């Protein structure tokens, strides 16, 4: 069956209006030389079981949670706090007398009486207890859905607490229903960090200073990336935000270059730092051997120092000599396998390179909460319509900071490098996907089951919401939001860890003993969306 026919087969049971909506969110990659357009960053069709997360999950769970020296108070029911407590496995180390609160779950634990009479008094008490017991440098307050509905003024509480205790207290109106998905939460969190934290420090970094933006140290990814960069000779000012801290983030404006790992969660911050402080950003990918090597060479080109370039090649050779034989072994075992990738951020793109290094073909991929530029490249940004949900997110404007602004490259050098490396540019996922592969935005559970039934992939990479559904279909499923208690998967040693886990998963005989649902009973068509529209 042709790939376009497969897409039509998956869509055929939808009512007319739903068919039109979902059709715009799917495409088959064609090598026509023209830009292929895909619909993205729109609200999920009501009634469809989406795999997306909420605005609060993006704000507290993804961006703020990994900042280790801050107390992160969740103002809402305890379930919300528990949901974002350690589930993404954002690891952090305590160095010297540095504070690390990641093992603690802070919540106001709102009850029914608080919903009726208001929870501000309880929030003030929680802040007081946090200050007296933990003495943090800063506190964040994240609002969940009930708080927005009843109208607790967390901003006023934060301002009062900041004056009272003399520390930074930031409020985040990130109620779960705001925005299209967790991407809105990223934006809300990052805007506040840009506004209130970045630029507040004055610690001068060492030579070759970089920030790693959009890296959350899942399973220790950030540590492996840092190991390689420091081995070459780079100085990492801060990671935003995996194993990051409030104290180091204050000095982010002092770096010579920003490395953007996850484009969707952080690209606008990289742009604002460049506009305000003059620091260029480079799109990087530390997932996969070939991508890691390409990124390291791009960084060396940016700094244009013969000694740094020479050391870069030495480290690449040292790392690869330990891996080439064993990675060849795993490639021989995995060659010819097929995969689905449906992950947030840039991972659905980045992991295709790591899979390709192992001989695995990605036949279908998509994002949970991407914008069109994540698929098509930044050149389409002027054509993207402003989303209706943007009214929920502050439009942050920055101006050149005359005191801290630095010119890192001459205009001529800047333009030259843009032709050689992805400097201030991301080309999107579509360009690098194989012809005839399928792209789906905001994949839902019906489409997941239908595509798996037809294309029969050997492995499926996604999040927790669909992991076990896929395994019950007899397909190996790997969680890339938390790595299923494994990792790291980044850089050189991470690629080997991933290959080992993939080999074990694909060759687990248990999948052969699972009977797929469609082999025992017809798919429940009535579970889709009822009635014609």
Q: What are the structural domain ranges in the chain?
A: 1-34+324-377+428-533, 55-196, 199-321+386-425
Contact 141, 73 (CB under 8 A): yes
Predicted pLDDT at 533: 38
Predicted pLDDT at 318: 97
- Catalogue the active-site residues: 54, 57, 88, 186
**In CATH terms, are 1-34+324-377+428-533 and 55-196 the same topology?**
yes
Query: Please, which residues have CB within 8 angstroms of residue 317's CB and are 6 or more apart in sequence?
Result: none
List Cα–Cα distances, 343 to 181, 245, 315, 364, 480, in angstroms: 13, 26, 31, 12, 7
> What is d(CA 422, CA 351) in angstroms, rounded to the nearest whole number?
18
Question: pLDDT under 50 in the chain at which residues?
Answer: 523-533
How would you class 73 by CB atoms within 10 Å of its CB: exposed for 0-12, middle for 13-18, buried for 19 or more?
buried
Q: Work out the end-to-end distance of the chain between its first and last CA atoms, rounded to an integer number of angstroms.
A: 29
Handedness of CA 277, 429, 285, 485 (dihedral sign): positive
* Neighbouring-strand partners of residue 282: 259, 423
Task: Answer yes or no: CATH 3.40.50.1980 is held by domain 1-34+324-377+428-533.
Answer: yes
Domain 199-321+386-425 architecture? 3-Layer(aba) Sandwich (3.40)
Predicted pLDDT at 521: 58
> What is d(CA 499, CA 492) in angstroms, rounded to the nearest whole number?
11
Contact 173, 185 (CB under 8 A): no
Q: If you write DSSP's letter for every residue of 286-333 in order, what string do you get?
A: -SSHHHHHHHHHHHHHHHT-HHHHHHHHHHHHHHHHTTHHHHHHHHHH
List Cα–Cα distances, 136 to 66, 106, 161, 282, 353, in angstroms: 15, 13, 13, 33, 41
Secondary structure letter of residue 214 according to DSSP: E
Query: Please, which residues have CB within 8 angstroms of residue 50's CB and are 6 or more apart in sequence?
Result: 44, 442, 444
Alpha-carbon torsion angle 242, 243, 245, 248, nearest 10: -90
The third-level CATH classification (topology) of the domain covering 55-196 is Rossmann fold (3.40.50)
Predicted pLDDT at 412: 97
Predicted pLDDT at 386: 65
Q: What are 236's two structure tokens?
A: 């990492």
């Amino acid at each position: 069956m042709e790939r376009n026919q497969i897409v039509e087969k998956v869509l055929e049971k939808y009512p007319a209006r739903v068919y039109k909506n979902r059709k715009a969110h799917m495409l088959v990659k064609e090598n026509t030389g023209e830009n292929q357009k895909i619909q993205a960053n729109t609200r999920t069709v009501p009634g469809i079981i989406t795999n997306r997360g909420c605005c609060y999950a993006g704000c507290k769970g993804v961006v703020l949670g990994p900042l280790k020296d801050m107390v992160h108070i969740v103002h809402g029911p305890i379930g919300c706090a528990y949901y974002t407590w350690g589930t993404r496995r954002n690891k952090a180390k305590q160095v010297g007398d540095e504070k690390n609160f990641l093992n603690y779950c802070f919540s106001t634990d709102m009850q029914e009486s608080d919903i009726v009479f208001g929870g501000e008094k309880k929030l003030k008490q929680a802040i007081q207890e946090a200050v007296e017991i933990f003495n943090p440098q800063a506190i964040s307050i994240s609002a969940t859905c009930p708080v927005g509905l009843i109208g607790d003024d967390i901003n006023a509480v934060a301002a009062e607490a900041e004056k009272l205790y003399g520390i930074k207290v930031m409020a985040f109106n990130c109620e779960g229903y705001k925005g299209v998905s967790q991407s809105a939460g990223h934006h809300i969190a990052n805007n506040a960090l840009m506004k209130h934290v970045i630029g507040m420090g004055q610690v001068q970094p060492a030579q070759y200073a970089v920030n790693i933006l959009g890296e959350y140290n899942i399973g220790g990814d950030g540590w492996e990336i840092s190991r390689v960069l420091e081995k070459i000779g780079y100085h990492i000012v801060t990671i935003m935000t995996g194993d990051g801290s409030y104290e180091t983030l204050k000095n982010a404006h002092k770096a010579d270059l920003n490395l953007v790992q996850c484009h969707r969660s952080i690209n606008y911050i990289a742009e604002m730092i460049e506009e305000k402080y003059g620091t260029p950003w480079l799109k990087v990918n530390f997932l996969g051997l070939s991508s890691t090597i390409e990124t390291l060479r791009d960084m060396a080109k940016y700094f244009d120092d013969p000694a740094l370039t020479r050391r870069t090649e030495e480290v690449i050779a040292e790392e690869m000599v330990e891996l080439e034989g064993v990675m060849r072994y795993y490639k021989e075992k995995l060659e010819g396998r097929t995969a689905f990738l449906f992950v947030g951020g840039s991972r659905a793109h980045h992991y295709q390179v790591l899979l390709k290094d192992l001989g695995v073909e990605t036949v279908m991929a998509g994002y949970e909460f991407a914008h069109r530029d994540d698929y098509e490249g930044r050149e389409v940004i002027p054509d993207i319509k402003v989303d209706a949900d943007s009214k929920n997110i502050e439009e942050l404007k920055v101006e050149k900071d005359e005191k801290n602004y630095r010119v890192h490259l001459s205009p001529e050098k800047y333009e030259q490098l843009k032709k050689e490396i992805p400097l201030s540019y991301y080309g999107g996922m579509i360009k690098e996907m194989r012809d005839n592969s399928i792209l789906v935005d905001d994949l839902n559970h019906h489409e997941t089951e239908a595509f798996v039934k037809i294309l029969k992939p050997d492995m499926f990479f996604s999040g927790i919401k669909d992991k076990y559904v896929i395994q019950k279909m007899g397909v190996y499923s790997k969680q890339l939001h938390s790595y299923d208690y494994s990792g790291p998967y980044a850089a050189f040693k991470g690629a080997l860890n991933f290959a080992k886990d993939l080999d074990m998963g694909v060759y687990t005989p248990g999948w052969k003993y699972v009977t797929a649902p469609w082999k025992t009973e017809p798919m429940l068509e009535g579970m889709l969306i009822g009635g014609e529209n």
